[in-house]
Chains A and B, each alone.
Chain A
Amino acid sequence: MGDRLSGNQPIPGGTPIAAWAWVEVASRMLGRDEREAVLGDLIESGEGAWRAMIAVLGLVLRREAEVWKIWRPWVAAFGLSVPCSFLLMGASISASRALQNIFGSSAEPTANPWLSAIPQVLLLIGWSWTGGFVVGSLSRRTLWISAVSCLLPCIFCLTRFRIESLSPLCLWLFLPPTVWGVRKGLVIGQIGRAPAILLAVAMTLLTIPTLHSHGEPWWNPPRWLCALTLTWPAWYLAANSTRNRRKSDTRHHKRWRDGEPTQ
């Protein structure tokens, strides 16, 4: 890109090449074709570097703002990343304590530590993975906002971590399965109907015992709300896969009815 500036190609009269280079850098936030057209228009119109920079940044801002006109990035960033990161840090602590019981470093050992630890670890992985998957598939272009929305609570809690028997890094136990889920969500976007339903049912079954602890009534609204917040991504995946399957069946049927070849 810089080659074009140093060659025989004109840039608007009197504009220093260095200033125009900043416009080029800012224009990298645009798509390739759009960058080409916009920079060409600015050069042809003889805009100075300052006005060109405002024009490019204005277009970038408009493009970013357009992404936020739909519900998906809002849900991904503020409906999922923020609340789930707080709750998953709590789940990470619980799972870490359960693992401590197994490896004998706990101050309060339990009778059957495996029985308590396995469901907790499975739930932590399931909640984190499905949450990450939904964030990755809901809004790719605003993924960095969702990532910041997840990391800010993590840093906030890390600075206030006061449990001596656990490493502060235990708070972030949920991050590896979350990152794995996000990557999967970005790559495949959706999962099949049967695995999605199976996953949602399995996670709900694993979640049910967490709704109740000894000495507490079954109906505990905060506990149910936490469970619902962490489980809804799995049911969203199940509902989405069912809806997509139905759409695909309708298209297939329509093609068959119209006599077009079907795959």
Chain B
Amino acid sequence: MLGEFEYLIVTSAAGLGDKAYGAAIREAIKAATGRNCSIGALYTTIERLEAKGLLTSWMGEATPERGGRSKRMIRVTGEGIRAAKQFYDSVTRISRGAAWAID
């Protein structure tokens, strides 16, 4: 099963679709959780998820706003979607009846 941070990365990458890459995922995680996500944590987790077959990555195009540097583009695999759904279902199930859960 995915960990919390892994779930955040997979879900934000899935939400970003074709525009999923490091900086965009960091931004999405910060917007959703209010927490800064370190580059080190992001890239080591991406590599771990890739090794598990939940993500694929490749080097994308370079843009001027990135100082001419390429992006590492991310795509969630079918296995990644299944793992994220399993995590979501588990969290939803265990949260039923909790005082903070919204019906």
Give chain A interface residues in 11-44, CB to chain B under 8 Å. 11, 33-34, 36-44
Closest partner residue, chain B, to A37 (CB atom) = B72
> A10 in the interface, Cβ–Cβ < 8 Å?
yes
Cross-chain contact A41 with B44 (CB below 8 angstroms): no
Give chain B interface residues in 60-100, CB to chain A under 8 Å. 62-72
Chain A residues touching B, range: 20 to 34
Given contacts A38-B43, A58-B40, A59-B39, 7 further A-B pairs with CB under 8 A are: A4-B68, A33-B72, A42-B39, A44-B23, A44-B63, A55-B38, A61-B40
> A63 in the interface, Cβ–Cβ < 8 Å?
yes
How many of B's residues come within 8 Å of A, CB to CB?
Answer: 23
State which of B39, B44, B65 has its C-beta within 8 Å of the C-beta of A55: B39
State which of A9, A38, A42, A45 has its C-beta within 8 Å of the C-beta of B64: A9
Cross-chain contact A36 with B59 (CB below 8 angstroms): yes
What is the interface of chain B, defined by CB distance below 8 A to chain A?
Answer: 21-23, 26-27, 38-41, 43-44, 59, 62-72
Cross-chain contact B59 with A9 (CB below 8 angstroms): no
**CB-CB under 8 A for A66 and B44, given A33-B59, A40-B23, A44-B23:** yes
Closest partner residue, chain B, to A34 (CB atom) = B43
Within 8 Å CB of A41, what residues of B?
21-23, 26, 39, 66, 71
Closest partner residue, chain A, to B39 (CB atom) = A55
> A214 in the interface, Cβ–Cβ < 8 Å?
no
Looking at the assembled complex, report how far the CB atom of B73 sits from the nearest CB atom of chain A, in whole angstroms.
9
**CB-CB under 8 A for A39 and B40, given A44-B23, A45-B23, A45-B26:** no
Closest partner residue, chain B, to A42 (CB atom) = B39
Cross-chain contact B69 with A62 (CB below 8 angstroms): no
Q: In the complex, what distance in Å separates the CA atom of A45 from the CA atom of B27?
A: 9
> A56 in the interface, Cβ–Cβ < 8 Å?
yes
Cross-chain contact B70 with A36 (CB below 8 angstroms): yes
Cross-chain contact A40 with B67 (CB below 8 angstroms): yes
Cross-chain contact B43 with A59 (CB below 8 angstroms): yes
Q: What are 24 A-B interface contacts by the 8 Å CB criterion?
A: A4-B68, A4-B69, A5-B67, A9-B67, A10-B67, A11-B67, A33-B72, A34-B43, A37-B21, A38-B43, A39-B67, A40-B63, A40-B67, A40-B70, A41-B26, A41-B66, A43-B65, A44-B63, A44-B65, A44-B66, A58-B38, A59-B44, A62-B40, A62-B44
Cross-chain contact B65 with A10 (CB below 8 angstroms): yes
Cross-chain contact B22 with A10 (CB below 8 angstroms): no
Within 8 Å CB of B23, what residues of A?
40-41, 44-45
Looking at the assembled complex, report how far the CB atom of B22 sits from the nearest CB atom of chain A, in whole angstroms.
4
